[in-house]
């Protein structure tokens, strides 16, 4: 039986679909990530993975896309 982990991050600076796509593309590169849903209207990025992710890796990926993680739900 596989376990799925879903983590929600609050990201500052997202304002459009381009922002959502940039963040989704970078976070999707992290090993173990199976899905990423970025929502500019709420500032939330929902990451689904097979195992819990290293927050530092997610923060680094969001930073690489040009945005900042401000909180983790």
State mean pLDDT over 49-53: 91
Does the pLDDT at position 52 exceed 70?
yes
Q: Is 6 helix (H, G, I), strand (E, B) or coil?
A: strand
Say what the pLDDT of residue 73 is: 72
Domains and CATH numbers, the chain: 5-72 (3.30.70.100)
Structure token pair of residue 66: 């040009």
More confident position, 53 or 1: 53
Distance CA 46, CA 1 (A): 22
* Average pLDDT of the chain, as a whole number: 94
Distance CA 25, CA 67 (A): 13
More confident position, 38 or 51: 38
3 pLDDT band (50/70/90 cuts)? confident
């Amino acid at each position: 039986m596989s376990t799925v982990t879903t983590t929600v991050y609050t990201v500052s600076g997202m304002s459009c679909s381009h922002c959502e796509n940039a963040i989704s593309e970078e976070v999707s590169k992290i090993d173990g990530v199976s899905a990423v849903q970025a929502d500019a209207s709420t500032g939330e990025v929902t990451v689904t993975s097979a195992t819990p992710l290293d927050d530092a890796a997610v923060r680094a990926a969001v930073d690489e896309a040009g945005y900042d993680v401000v909180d983790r739900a």
